[in-house]
Amino acid sequence: MGDLIASPRVNFIIVIFIQLIIFVVAQFLARTRLREALFVLCVAAAVGLPIGIFFDIWAGSSLGFFHYLIPPGLIFATLNAVLSYGLAIGTAAAFAGAFFNRWSPVLRHVITVFGLAAALAAILFARSEQLLLSRMFGAGIAIISGIEVGVVWTRRSGPFLTALRGNIRPLLLLWGQSMAVGLCYELANHFFPVWQWALADAENKVAVEFVIVGFGYIILFYPIVFFWQVLFRDRARTL
């Protein structure tokens, strides 16, 4: 099943509209009040600008994990960051809580040392000449390790460390929500192509999409959920 509309710019508009629908549904399921939803949307759009541009430069241009079908330019980069990444951030803001428990200061320092070491090793691996898929996993491990360290320093336990302690529910919750939204995004991009993954050629496209949906989107959404729930959740709930 190929794309329904040939123009990538028209596809971009359609995909943004689909993302907006997903955002509305996510906020509705989270029982978000209208005023809070508007707050989420405004903050997410503002935050999406630096995060989106950074992610596109790092994962797209630098590491070569994906590219856009629309010719690069300042206008598209800005619109994509504010609209597409902004709506993704706003959708992730509706994810159920994923951070539990509290940690002792000594354990926090131990986790910091090992977490930063794992993140550094994964970054070096992602920058190496290994297979692209291996580099993708290396980048993912770096992001997860770094965020887990950040979570610990907020006196909380992230879903991955919580799973290691025997409670797998927060991780499954975050993973399931990420996969559900990722599947919707990738289906939208399948019918109205805007971006293309580096490994997604005609022969292995289904397998690559499976890996991206199953493992890629949690890498994207985990830092967003951490950022939102740590810095903005309490403020948003008071509106």
Tokens 């809580």 identify what position? 97
Tokens 């330019």 identify what position? 73
Listed residue (8, 50, 2) closest to 205, CA to CA: 2
Q: Pinpoint the alpha helices (H) of the chain.
A: 8-29, 34-55, 74-79, 86-92, 105-126, 132-152, 159-164, 169-191, 205-211, 217-231, 233-237
Q: What is the rounded distance in angstroms from the CA atom of residue 67 to the CA atom of residue 175?
A: 25
Query: With 0-12 CB in 10 A as exposed, 13-18 as middle and 19+ as buried, what is 205?
Result: middle
Q: What is the pLDDT along the chain (239 residues), one digit of tens a residue?
A: 444 456 889 999 999 999 999 999 999 998 888 998 999 999 999 999 999 998 898 788 877 788 899 988 999 999 999 999 999 999 998 886 655 555 555 455 455 545 555 555 555 544 545 556 666 777 777 778 777 777 777 777 778 877 877 788 888 888 899 999 999 999 999 899 999 888 755 566 677 778 888 888 988 888 888 877 776 655 444 34
- Residue 68 · residue 204 · CB < 8 Å: no
Angle in degrees, CA 198, 204, 209, rounded to 5: 65
pLDDT score, position 25: 95
Q: Decide: helix, strand or coil at residue 4.
A: coil
What single DSSP character describes residue 72?
A: P
Q: What is the rounded distance in angstroms from the CA atom of residue 214 to the CA atom of residue 196?
A: 17
Q: Decide: helix, strand or coil at residue 66.
A: strand
pLDDT score, position 1: 43
Q: What is the rounded distance in angstroms from the CA atom of residue 18 to the CA atom of residue 198?
A: 23
pLDDT score, position 239: 40
pLDDT score, position 204: 65
What single DSSP character describes residue 70?
A: S
pLDDT score, position 198: 80
